[in-house]
Amino acid sequence: MKTLLVLSPHPELADTLRQGLSPERYRIVHRTTLEEAEPLLAHGLAGACCLDIELSGVQQTWMIEKIRRCAPQCPLLVFTGARQWEWEEEAYLKGATHVLTKPLRLRMLTTLLDRLWAASAPVALAPDSAAAQLPPALESFKSAEAVPPAAHGSLASPSQMGLRGFSAILTHSLDAEAMLRQFLLLLREMTGLNRAAIFLRSPSHTFGERGAAENTGRLRAACALGLPRSLLDNFELSFDGGIGGLVSRLSRIVRRQSEESRRDGTTQREFELLGAQVAVPILDREGILGVAVFDGHITGEPLSNAELELIFHLLEQVGLAIKNIWLHDQLSGNHELMAGILRELKDACVVVSRDLAVLHFNKAARRFFTVSNARTGELEFSDLPQLIGAKVFQVLKTGTAVPPFRFEPAGAPGTVYHITVVPFQRKEGTLPASVLLMAEDLTHSEQLRQLEGEAANLRLVRTMADRLAHEVGNALVPLSTHQQLLSEKYSDPEFRTSLDAALADGVKRVNRLINQMRFLARDALTSTEAFPLAPLVEEAYEEARKHQPAKKAQFVCADEKKPVVVTGDRAALKHALSEVILNALQANPGEPKIGVFLHADATTNGIHDLQIEVQDNGTGFTQETAQKAPAPFYTTRNIGLGLGLTVSRKIIETHHGKLEILPPRTGQPGVVRISLPVESTPLAHF
């Protein structure tokens, strides 16, 4: 009777099969999830698997591949609704045996099942042809069975040939001690050994690390028969001398009574202590892993050369098995190390294979992503958010990493992740075997950055309020003094003159503050017009003189006899130039000399790069003031807000230009350069 495993979320398919198939030939077992069906598949209890899915996406083909990994030899029949050729082809590539459409046709299914059982049945061969297709090892075993049993210790005995086949099976073991003990027990059973012991060097625990015994040449007992445990715990061989050194030097079997052994007293003492008569090297086809020592038969007879030759070859296969075990332990150790590192990282780490199976995820990933499988607690690919899953699938299919991106979960407002998807490629030009998904939680840092920005804004507001209060207070002090004396001295002409000057100065200072605040608040041009630049520079100079009058001031504006037209906000540019010129006037208040030089460099498409250099005759900028001068509220004077160059830079940048202070030079005056893009426009209409 064959068992049909029906994997379907609904019982309709299983009920249909029970009604249509013969109960004497088929037993129908229904399971709703793959987790419930895994025990039947893993232990080979199902003769065939019937999978009821809709072939319309990656998740369905992934389920087919997962079933195929769990049961590689089990026939897999996929029942689907509408057939889509691209997904049907993917199903066959993932391991489906047949893809059938619903509704179910029992006659065709019965025929397919009969063919599956007929294909899996063994084919009887004629005696001559069977013998012709046997591998050489089995041919020797068959010929050994045909001869009568030989004397004790014969190489042609079936038991010893069976031992040769058994040694190949041992290479699949991952427990070195258990494998060696089973090997010695079977060797005793087949050959009648009295005593035996196997000594091995210590393995490396991680790749690239040399074991302590490998460096010192010490060999510890790994397994023994007929020897006390207390002796083996306190006895070692060495590649530097004794049995180990002799075997290592000769690289062959060494008997106790050989000439080389009799000349070495250490070797004789070790043979006597172990009660052994012969030592056999354990090779892995690259070097010596250890030494095996044997006594004779339990009847007292020594091991023959033919038996020792067979044991040598068997031990060579055992050596390969031991080397594989060590490599597996190293790989497992490195895997545990990397898994431990990933597990303790604060960032979420998820490793996804090409079949969209989650190979590894750490504790942070469990916190970041919702685990839907409450029974196993394992993270699945479907648990990843759709956007992140799409990026992972893209990297797996293309082999190209995607740029890191921000991700804000819809169900967690304010939460921000920095997502990185990195492919793991084994060879250049091949698709990645897996990808590493890393999610860094930026929520806390984003909140801190926001708080820092708010704190910086509050500090800026406090500084601005303090400076404004100080500057407005300085402007109001003369006005307040004159207001107190107004009723008493209004008739005094000198007082009225002083009052007029105080009012004019106060209004001038307050208007400058208002203009600075207004231009700082603008992020775009309020008006655009075309105008010649040279007259604007003259007006800016006169505006600056109102705030810094000087009797011996000198001003020069050189435009290279090439008038330039500027398009922009005329009032804003005038204020920016006046602030720069005012800064130049204040550099030498006694005898200021101001030079403004205009220079236009032709570029492409009729656009010029206009440079306006404002030069003073002061002591020049220091390295510190050149860096800090454009910053808000930086000033070296007792009056003013320190916003002059800040406002100028804001206006120039709004016009897509640049303001810069040239690097200071010893003995050279200060120079402020303004760069503006201007168009070549005729000046005939000006």
Contact 298, 193 (CB under 8 A): yes
User: Which pLDDT score, from 0 to 100, does residue 392 have?
Assistant: 92
User: Which pLDDT score, from 0 to 100, does residue 242 have?
Assistant: 92
User: Which pLDDT score, from 0 to 100, does residue 569 have?
Assistant: 87
Please give the Cα distance from 245 to 258 (Å, whole number).
Answer: 15
Cross-strand bridge partners of residue 219: 237
Average pLDDT for runs of 10 along the chain of length 686: 87 88 87 85 84 82 85 88 79 86 85 78 42 38 40 46 52 75 83 90 64 62 89 89 91 91 91 93 86 91 89 87 85 76 79 88 84 79 90 89 88 85 77 88 81 74 71 77 81 84 81 77 80 87 82 80 81 88 83 84 62 84 74 67 79 87 74 80 38
411-426 in b/e form (b: 16+ CB < 10 A) is: eeeeebbebbbebeee
pLDDT in tens, 508-523: 777 877 777 777 777 7
Token representation of residue 200 = 């091995």
Token representation of residue 295 = 């006594």
- Helices and strands of the chain, counted as H and E runs: 23, 23
Say how many CA atoms lie within 13 Å of 293 toward its Cβ.
30
How is residue 257 annotated by DSSP? Answer: T
Please give the Cα distance from 211 to 186 (Å, whole number).
Answer: 30
Domain 148-330 matches domain 345-441 at the CATH topology level: yes
User: Which pLDDT score, from 0 to 100, does residue 639 have?
Assistant: 62
Would strands 671-679 and 254-255 be described as parallel, antiparallel, or unpaired?
unpaired
Please give the Cα distance from 94 to 50 (Å, whole number).
Answer: 15
pLDDT in tens, 405-457: 989 888 778 788 899 998 987 666 678 888 999 898 888 887 788 788 777 76
What top-level class would CATH report for the domain 2-120?
A: alpha beta
User: Which pLDDT score, from 0 to 100, does residue 197 have?
Assistant: 94
Helix (H, G, I), strand (E, B) or coil at 614: strand
Q: In 3-state terms, the chain is what percent helix, strand and coil (to 5)? A: 50, 20, 30
**CA separation, residue 530 to residues 252, 433, 654 (Å):** 101, 64, 16
Q: Under CATH, domain 345-441 is a member of which superfamily?
A: PAS domain (3.30.450.20)
**CA separation, residue 553 to residues 117, 580, 616 (Å):** 111, 16, 11
Q: Strand 196-200's sheet: what is its strand order? A: 236-238, 218-225, 196-200, 288-294, 278-283, 254-255
CA max distance for the chain: 152
Please give the Cα distance from 281 to 292 (Å, whole number).
Answer: 6
Comparing C-alpha atoms, which of 601, 497, 584 is closest to residue 548? 584
User: Which pLDDT score, from 0 to 100, does residue 166 have?
Assistant: 58
Which residues lie below 8 Å from residue 203, measured CB to CB, with a gap of 6+?
211, 326, 329, 330
Phi then psi for residue 420, to 5 deg, are -130, 130
Contact 620, 614 (CB under 8 A): no
The CATH number of 148-330 is: 3.30.450.40
Domain ranges of the chain: 2-120, 148-330, 345-441, 446-518, 522-679
Q: What is the distance in angstroms between the CA of the first residue and the CA of the last residue of the chain? A: 107
Omega within 30 of 0 (cis) for the link into 103? yes
DSSP string, 669-683: PPEEEEEEEEE----
Please give the Cα distance from 601 to 276 (Å, whole number).
Answer: 99
What top-level class would CATH report for the domain 522-679?
A: alpha beta
Comparing C-alpha atoms, which of 393, 490, 375, 476 is closest to residue 434? 393
Helix (H, G, I), strand (E, B) or coil at 169: helix
Token representation of residue 234 = 């306190």
pTM of the model as a whole: 0.42
User: Which pLDDT score, from 0 to 100, does residue 605 have?
Assistant: 52
Please give the Cα distance from 543 to 579 (Å, whole number).
Answer: 9
